[in-house]
A and B are shown apart, each in its own frame.
Chain A
Amino acid sequence: MSGKESPVPLLKDGKRHDGRGPMDLRPIEMKIGILHNADGSAWLKIGKTEVVAAVYGPREPPMKGMVLPDRAVIRCRYHMAPFSTEERKNPAPSRREIELSKVIREALEATILTHLFPRTVIDVFVEVIQADGGTRTAAITAASLALADAGIPMRGLVAGVAVGKVQGKLVLDIDELEDMYGEADMPVAGIPTLNKIVLLQLNGVIEPHEFPQALKMAWEGIKKIHALQKKVLATKYGGEQ
């Protein structure tokens, strides 16, 4: 979306610059319970993007005044490590990170059954270790796994993926390069078990008639990621099956 030419052709003979087809996700790896001190934690790697999520709570509020009488307060911090990008990123929270923290929090608020824990606080921390596009959707996917690991009641697992448009064609799970030189980036996150969307953003330009197709593609990707999330969780407790 920078208007400049991409250094490599983004789409050539139906293949993307990294050899994927339009509907292919990057390779995904997930782990849960990686942090000892957190109540729940998860690590997720999708392509070169790598995030760690930690969940604490429900716990007593650090300050009395911040709680709500009827439900738990969710606090979310999305943060990019200084070494996560090509050039050093200032570790102080940027405008973008504060905004992403908010949209991730709102996406998670839609799934967590907050009314069960009045007067408490649930803390979600997401640290981006390596950024290569799709960090917000990776953050949501990892955070929902960490919430499940912490045993916090949820309506369902949340998974997210971005759809982009490069050289006039819709593609699934765009990376940094496609985001930078493509025409559009549309992150979507949802609860596949309930068929509900919890996050939908659009950056760039897509035609109105392309939107249903883009959403359908994202949903296909979300379903695949959700299946992986379930597999990771089931493996951890596999001894009980």
Chain B
Amino acid sequence: MKQQTEPQRKLVLPGDVVAKGNYTINPKSVMYLYKIDDTIYAAVVGLVEINDNVVTLIPLEGTYIPRPGDIVIGLVENFVITHWQVDINAPYIGILHVSNLLGRPYNPAKDNLKEYLDIGDYIVARIDSFDRTKDPILDVQGKGLGRITEGKIVEIKPSRVPRVIGKKKSMLNVIKGDTGCDIVVGANGRIWIKCPNKDLEDIVTLAIKLIEREAFTSGLTEKVRVLIATEKHERGLI
């Protein structure tokens, strides 16, 4: 991991003073830092980066909190007359409006919601909007979004998602390249794998579980490479 961790990143614990003086908090990190007078404190365990007097904190643990623009993988839990209720592995239920999925006005008398999405279906969606007063609204209009019809879903801790992706997608590209599988990583800790065969699917699952388990060890990319190679060899794929 040494080549991935930048030297100026520092581990901080809740209550630690991160910066004092004329500093501002990165809008992405408002949940993880707080300010009293001119002192910025860390609120969670994380890695701190200071660039141009802007403080950014990358949390190492925590549940997924929706942010507009995120790609998530949701599980349809229920539907009511105007929308589906989707579990997005967050403290809030995702809402997917029928008109958004159909892309046209919707007539409750004619359209049967079950024909489009049923309970238990997985979907790839984008968080369209979310704030503290309203539940997150999902959007499935776009490339690669919509119902999942094949493959497998693997769940990991949401805080380990950046590790699975790696710096500039390095880790993801290693897994994709070495196995030939297509992988969609949801920001909420659900990962969709599409593989040519069952053996490769299992190997990718093992690799992802390895990353989740050993997220804080160094040389993780190499470990994943070795794991994929040995597993492929054992299964007679090479």
Interface residues of A (CB under 8 A from B): 39-40, 57-60, 69, 113, 116-120, 148-157, 191-194, 230, 233-234, 236-241
A57 shortest CB reach to chain B, Å? 7
**B12-20, B107-115, B171-179, B180-188 - the one binding chain A:** B12-20
Partner of B15 from A57, A150, A193, A234 at Cβ < 8 Å: A193
- Contact status A120-B91, CB under 8 Å: yes
Flag if B61 contacts A194 (CB, 8 Å). Answer: no
Task: Identify which of B11, B44, B92 contacts A153 (C-beta below 8 A).
Answer: B44
Residue of A58, A113, A237, A241 with highest tally of chain B CB at under 10 A: A237
Interface size bracket, B side: 20 to 34
Tell me whether B34 is interfacial, beta carbon within 8 Å: yes
Residues of B within 8 A of A154 (CB): 14-15, 43-44
Most buried by A among B15, B43, B159, B217: B15
Query: Is B34 touching A59 in the complex (CB atoms < 8 A)?
Result: no
Given contacts A118-B132, A118-B133, A156-B15, 9 further A-B contacts (CB under 8 A): A57-B63, A57-B91, A60-B93, A116-B31, A151-B61, A156-B14, A192-B15, A237-B216, A239-B1
7 nearest A-B pairs in the assembled complex, by CB-CB distance: A156-B15, A151-B62, A151-B61, A193-B15, A153-B43, A120-B91, A239-B216
The contact sample of 23 A-B pairs, CB cut-off 8 A, is A39-B63, A113-B34, A116-B31, A117-B65, A118-B132, A120-B91, A149-B61, A151-B44, A151-B45, A151-B60, A154-B15, A154-B43, A157-B13, A157-B15, A193-B15, A194-B15, A230-B13, A233-B13, A234-B11, A237-B45, A239-B216, A239-B217, A240-B47
Q: A-facing mask of B62-87, CB < 8 A → 1, else 0? A: 11010000000000000000000000
In the complex, A234 Cα to B91 Cα: how many Å? Answer: 28
Q: Is B32 an interface residue (CB 8 A)?
A: yes
Q: Given the complex, which residues of A lie within 8 Å of B5, measured CB to CB?
A: 240
Interface: B41 (CB within 8 A): yes
Give Cα A116 to B43, complex, Å: 11
* Interchain CB contact (< 8 A) of A157 among B14, B34, B36, B92: B14
Shortest Cβ gap from A193 to chain B (Å): 4
Inter-chain CA distance A161–B101, complex, in Å, is 56
The answer to whether B14 touches A240, judged by C-beta atoms less than 8 angstroms apart, is no
A44 CB to nearest B CB, Å: 17
A116 to B34, CA, bound (A): 11
**A59 near B15 (CB under 8 angstroms)?**
no
Give the secondary structure class of B's interface. loop
Q: B1-44 toward A: CB 8 Å interface, digit per residue (1/0)?
A: 10001000111011111000000000000011010100001011
Measured CB to CB, the nearest residue on chain A to B9 is A240
Instruction: Look across to chain B and name the residue whose beta carbon is closest to the beta carbon of A231.
Output: B13
Nearest A residue (CB) for B132:
A118
In the bound complex, do residue B159 and residue A240 qualify as a contact, i.e. CB atoms below 8 Å apart? Answer: no
The verdict on B218 contacting chain A, using a C-beta distance below 8 Å, is: yes
- Which residues of B are found within 8 Å of A150, using beta-carbon distances? 61-63
Q: How far is the CB of B31 from chain A (nearest CB, A)?
A: 5
- A193/B16 contact (C-beta < 8 A), A117-B91, A239-B216 known: yes
Question: Complex formed: what's the CA distance from A75 to B34 in Å?
Answer: 24
Contacts known (A154-B43, A156-B41, A157-B14); A240 close to B62, Cβ less than 8 A? no
Residue of B nearest to A156 (CB): B15
A157 to B16, CA, bound (A): 9
Known contacts A156-B14, A234-B11: A148-B41 contact under CB 8 Å: no
Q: A58-B91, A118-B132, A153-B43 are in contact. Are A241 and B15 (CB under 8 A)?
A: no
CA distance A234 to B93 in the complex (A): 34
Cross-chain contact B92 with A60 (CB below 8 angstroms) = yes
Q: How far is the CB of A216 from chain B (nearest CB, A)?
A: 21
Contact B59 A151 (CB under 8 A): yes
The CA-CA distance from A233 to B42 in the complex, in Å, is: 14
> How far is it, in angstroms, between the C-alpha of A238 and the C-alpha of B217 when the chains are bound?
9
Q: How far is the CA of A236 from the CA of B11 in the complex (A)?
A: 11
B218: contacting residue among A191, A230, A239, CB under 8 A: A239
From A120, A152, A230, A234, B44 is in contact (CB under 8 Å) with A152
- Report yes or no: B63 in contact with A234, Cβ–Cβ below 8 A: no
A241 to B1, alpha carbons, bound, how many Å? 11
**B41 contact from A69, A116, A155, Cβ within 8 A:** A155
